[in-house]
Amino acid sequence: MKINWGTGIVLSFIGFISFIMFFVVRMNTDDRANHDLVTEDYYKQELSFQKEIDAEKEANALPTQLQLKRIEEGLQIRFPKEMDPTKINGIVSLYRPSNKHLDFDLPISLSNAHLLIPDKRLLDGRWDITIRWTYDGKNYLVKESMTY
């Protein structure tokens, strides 16, 4: 059977479209390529953006900054020494950009000046850490990205 140039062009188009459709279907069904770009309540978070800016300014104005330190037992968050640890209330949010199932929040309840996040809760890789706390009626916010 002889294939003329018109049939060759049609077969080339069909082959190319099949090739592209194969990769589109494969990428949509593959769990390894499942990356979330934003959080679930993205628009709600955008409405409170000015409050976050003010809270970050308050945290940056402190004489002693909040410190994140990796130690053998896990991740240690050390609050400013000027603050009474029993009066600090808030939440620590850990966001994993590559897998939303690893995200978690921890309430802040302190008896001393530091909070320890156990090593078994943190897998190796990038984490976005947001620490929100209230002390004497003022809101504070610190955002950090780290590779654990």
Q: Which CATH architecture has domain 42-147?
A: Sandwich (2.60)
82 band by pLDDT with thresholds 50, 70 and 90: confident
Residue 145 and residue 130 in contact, taking contact as beta carbons nearer than 8 Å: no
Residue 59: strand, helix, or coil: helix
| Percent residues over pLDDT 90 in the chain | 36
pLDDT, tens digit, 9 for 90 and up, residues 131-144: 999 998 899 999 99
For 137, the token pair is: 């009626």
Q: Choose from 5-14, 26-35, 115-124 the range with maximum mean pLDDT.
A: 5-14
Q: What is the DSSP letter of 102?
A: G
For 84, the token pair is: 């009474």
Q: Where are the alpha helices (DSSP H) in the chain?
A: 5-29, 42-47, 49-60
pTM metric for this prediction: 0.67
Nearest Cα to Cα of residue 91 among 117, 125, 61: 117
